[in-house]
């Protein structure tokens, strides 16, 4: 299981658990049954989302893109950044990610995307909605 995906899975599960825990403790303390029910409902939704993400990881229903970031440009009036990644066989991929994504030009990355048909065909555009996670590669990871 790739480390960025495992980390995201653990964070999703922890957030759901602590939301239920805090919500139920506060609901019991304030004797608010509706608050307890809402906390449990949100916890159930979080559990479903975590299980769904776990199944995506176990079934390997994601694609991996490794490459070097060669350029990043800010998109005017948006909170996005256009990033150009080049893989080992010199195919270019354009990614639209959040400005706080942290990808730097000249660094190598491995990005994990939800399965789609577009990653195999040359010059492509991808947005942050399909991005599951990424990691910076060191020299020993190559």
- Sequence-ordered list of residues with C-beta below 8 angstroms from that of 46, at least 6 positions apart, any chain: 12, 13, 15, 16, 17, 19, 20
CA 130 from centroid of its chain's CA atoms: 8
What pTM did the predictor assign? 0.78
Q: What would the mean pLDDT of 72-89 be, rounded to a whole number? A: 84
- pLDDT in the model for residue 99: 80
Q: What would the mean pLDDT of 16-33 be, rounded to a whole number? A: 93
Q: How many Å apart are CA 15 and CA 24, to the nearest integer?
A: 14
Confidence band for 75, pLDDT divided at 50, 70 and 90: confident
- Given a cut of 80, is residue 20 above it in pLDDT? yes
- pLDDT in the model for residue 121: 47
């Amino acid at each position: 299981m790739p480390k960025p995906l495992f980390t995201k899975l653990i964070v999703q599960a922890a957030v759901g658990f602590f939301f239920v825990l805090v919500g139920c403790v506060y609901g019991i303390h304030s004797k608010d049954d509706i608050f307890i029910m809402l906390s449990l409902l949100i916890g159930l939704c979080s559990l479903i989302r975590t299980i769904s993400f776990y199944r995506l990881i176990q079934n390997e229903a994601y694609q991996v893109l490794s490459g070097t970031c060669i350029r990043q440009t800010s998109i005017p009036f948006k909170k996005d950044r256009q990033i150009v990644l080049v893989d080992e066989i010199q195919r270019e991929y354009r990614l639209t990610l959040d400005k706080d994504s942290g990808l730097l030009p000249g660094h190598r990355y491995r990005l994990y995307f939800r399965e789609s048909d577009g990653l195999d065909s040359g010059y492509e555009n991808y947005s942050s909605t399909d991005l599951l996670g990424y990691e910076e590669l060191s020299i020993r990871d190559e």
